[in-house]
Amino acid sequence: MIRCIAIDDEPLALKQIVIYITQTPHLELEGQFESALQAIEYLQSHEVDLMFVDINMPELTGMEFVKSLSHPPKVIFTTAYSEYALEGFQVNALDYLLKPIGYPAFLKSAEKARDWFESREQKTTRVEANSEFLFIKSEYKIIRINISDITYVEGMREYVRIHMVGQNPVMSLIGMSKLEEFLPTDKFMRVHRSYIVNLEKITTIERNRIIFDGKVYIPISENYKEKFQEFLNKNFLP
């Protein structure tokens, strides 16, 4: 699934894009916003793959919004003015939809996005993992990481930061979901959209937060709370 957000200051136009996203099988709606500023705040703590962005918005235009992001998700621009198409492609937009937008045109753009992500997935360096270690690409190097050394994984938009015992964190251009597939499910659990933890490293839990080293607080979100509680129940001594 391609995780999406929609941004448009016109409520009816926003509603239309939201409807189109929800009825397209390979797209998943993560959020909808009536201003770029709201979207910026959301992206500071959430990870998405694709944005449908209106160009003509007050305060901060869609183009200015995308250019302001250090590692922007892929984008499909929407606007009523065709003269913005060239500028849109200059910021590596996947596509450009001219309003009023019909579903056939939207679906064609959505399929183009799916093709791009599938192609990218094939080109991305795979993480080869077993029960003891994995190899991961970081910058221009391939690094071996012992799975038992991992304390937790932190998602940062298109990147992950792997935190380990007694070592500096390792950054890699790979999605949280992809890394989650390679980690042993009996030892690792996703407890938040942005965090995967090593269950064997947990020593303290306080107020729905996992505490590492007395200074790192990892929240347990509502979406993952039930699964984590099952883990606690199986290992809890009354």
pLDDT, tens digit (0-9, with 9 covering 90-100), for 186-230 = 999 999 999 999 999 999 999 899 999 888 999 999 999 999 999
Is this model's pTM higher than 0.75 or not? no
Give me the pLDDT at residue 173, please.
87
Measure the CA–CA gap between 105 and 184, rounded to whole angstroms: 41
What is the chain's mean pLDDT, rounded?
88
| Run of H or E residues at 201 | none
Q: What is the pLDDT of residues 124-164, one digit of tens each?
A: 555 454 668 888 888 888 999 999 999 999 998 778 999 99
Q: What is the pLDDT of residues 176-195, one digit of tens each?
A: 888 888 898 899 999 999 99
Domains of the chain from N-terminus onward: 2-123 (3.40.50.2300), 128-235 (2.40.50.1020)
User: Taking 80 as the threshold, does the pLDDT of residue 88 lie above it?
Assistant: no
Give me the pLDDT at residue 168, please.
92
What's the Cα-to-Cα distance from 199 to each of 1, 149, 159, 165, 204, rounded to whole Å?
27, 12, 22, 14, 11
Strand partners, 134: 129, 145
Q: What is the DSSP letter of 124?
A: S
Give me the pLDDT at residue 87, please.
56
Measure the CA–CA gap between 24 and 35, rounded to whole angstroms: 24
